[in-house]
Amino acid sequence: MLTSPQWQRTLTAAGRHRVPPSRTPKRWLFSRSRPNQATASAWVDGFFSNGMESIANSSPLWVMKIVSEVLFWPTFAWNYLLYIRSNDGWYSIIAELPTGGKLLLGPAPVFASMREILVEQAGVSVFVSTLDRDFAGPSVESRSFPMTDFVSPDLPTVEAAVDYIDEQLEAGKSVYVHCKAGKGRSGTIVMCWLMKYFRMTPEGAQAYLAKARPQILKMPAVGRNTKMQQWLNYRVRVTLHDGRIMIGQFMAFDKHMNLVLADTEEFRKVRSKGEAGLGEEREVKRMLGLLILRGENIISMTAEAPPPNVKKSEGPMAGPGRGQAAGRGVPIAPLGHAPRGLTGPIRGVGGPAPAQMAPGAPPGMPPMPGFPGMPPPPPGMMPGMPGQQH
């Protein structure tokens, strides 16, 4: 694997290369004196990179496949004319490795002259295509990983392409990666190769690739944030640069692509100890719970399951209802007698016997003394006893 620091230092972009003038059409196809050419090319590129992306997000895949086939030759001709007019190279050398292999990036070699230059002058021996058609010819080795234009590629296809490219580079072969124009799909594969085997961050890989090939499409940060928001609360699979996989519920993110996952499960591959360290490889799982992942360590993120169904608490049923005054449990209308539980002792049960008279003055005696204008003392209390008011 191309992961050692020494190999990382040797990863240098060798520059861009143009097809020799004898191989190019005449320059009069585009006049250098036209002032609106740059504006027109920028408008067309913006339409096909941003406008078609918004259409692809709201259209089924089979529709986008038809659109991709219909627009293949018109958009290829437009990009070829822009190449003739500009100073950018037709293909770009991305990396030269100590094994002798080189990684090149560019558009589809639809003309025989393009294939001859790549094979004879650049030394290309392997063609890697993201198209469903073969432009390499029978004389060289080729491998196709079909991806629909204007649609984000699926992760298994990208991983298979990246691993195949690395195998060929380790064997000392020069690999030419291409899509239709060498800007989008092929650039995505090369960026993923840089992130996986050279531990680059997405921003670092894109900046490195832009120096070697300025034509690649750059995704704006606002579009990335918008895409991230649609996966909130989904259960996602996050692949880290060290090979670990985190699966959890996507809760939050920030502008640096730091992620917050809940109920996270970690999966890592460990090799059991054996002879010469070649033991059997097995997968280990452990629960981590709430987890914060740094964006610089993340290689990819894919959706595993939709958000969980959370049952909402049922509110009161709608109906005609009934109007009633709030009395705090005490009836509003006055009662003729005290409510149960608030009456005094019942005669014969903790009180005077039914035949016993209530306390009072003996017959023939004047009433009990009291103060003028004051009611007499309660029964059972004599004048002057504590508790009486004077």
pLDDT digits (tens, 9 = 90+) for 106-145: 988 888 888 888 988 889 999 999 988 888 777 789 999 9
For residue 80, give the CATH number of its domain: 3.90.190.10
What's the mean pLDDT in 66-78? 78
Does residue 102 sit in the same domain as residue 208?
yes
Q: How confident is the model at residue 16 (pLDDT cuts 50, 70, 90)?
A: very low
User: Does a structural domain hold residue 217?
Assistant: no
User: Does a structural domain hold residue 89?
Assistant: yes
C-alpha 145/C-alpha 185 separation (Å) is 10
Q: Which pLDDT value is given to residue 296?
A: 84
What's the mean pLDDT in 286-314? 83
Does residue 206 sit in the same domain as residue 233?
no
Does residue 179 sit in the same domain as residue 76?
yes
User: Does a structural domain hold residue 150?
Assistant: yes
376 has pLDDT over 80? no
User: Does a structural domain hold residue 10?
Assistant: no
User: Does a structural domain hold residue 378?
Assistant: no
User: Does a structural domain hold residue 3?
Assistant: no
Q: What is the pLDDT of residues 208-257, one digit of tens each?
A: 988 888 877 765 444 456 677 888 899 999 999 888 999 999 999 887 78
44 has pLDDT over 80? no
Q: What percent of the chain has pLDDT over 90?
A: 19
Q: What percent of the chain has pLDDT over 70?
A: 58
C-alpha 114/C-alpha 224 separation (Å) is 35
Range picked from 50-54, 62-66, 93-97 for highest mean pLDDT = 93-97
252: enclosing H helix or E strand:
strand 245-253
User: Does a structural domain hold residue 148?
Assistant: yes
Does residue 159 sit in the same domain as residue 255?
no
Q: Which of 181, 133, 131 is nearest to 153 (CA)?
A: 131
Does residue 155 sit in the same domain as residue 184?
yes
18 has pLDDT over 50? no
Q: Which pLDDT value is given to residue 3?
A: 39
- For the chain, give the mean pLDDT: 73
C-alpha 78/C-alpha 182 separation (Å) is 13
Q: Which pLDDT value is given to residue 287?
A: 94
Q: What is the pLDDT of residues 177-186, one digit of tens each?
A: 998 888 888 9
97 has pLDDT over 60? yes
Of 34-48, 61-75, 223-237, least confident by mean pLDDT is 34-48
Q: Which pLDDT value is given to residue 312?
A: 60
Does residue 60 sit in the same domain as residue 203?
yes
298 has pLDDT over 60? yes
Does residue 204 sit in the same domain as residue 234?
no
Higher pLDDT, 37 or 357: 357
Helical residues (DSSP H) of the chain, grouped into ranges: 5-10, 37-46, 52-57, 61-70, 72-85, 112-116, 155-170, 185-198, 202-212, 221-229
Does residue 193 sit in the same domain as residue 266?
no
37 has pLDDT over 80? no
Q: Which pLDDT value is given to residue 221?
A: 44
User: Does a structural domain hold residue 137?
Assistant: yes
Helical residues (DSSP H) of 110-198, grouped into ranges: 112-116, 155-170, 185-198
Does residue 54 sit in the same domain as residue 200?
yes
Q: Which pLDDT value is given to residue 215?
A: 78
Does residue 187 sit in the same domain as residue 240?
no
Does residue 51 sit in the same domain as residue 136?
yes
Q: Which of 135, 136, 159, 131 is nearest to 146 (CA)?
A: 131
Range picked from 132-136, 162-166, 333-337 for highest mean pLDDT = 162-166
Range of the domain at 270: 229-305
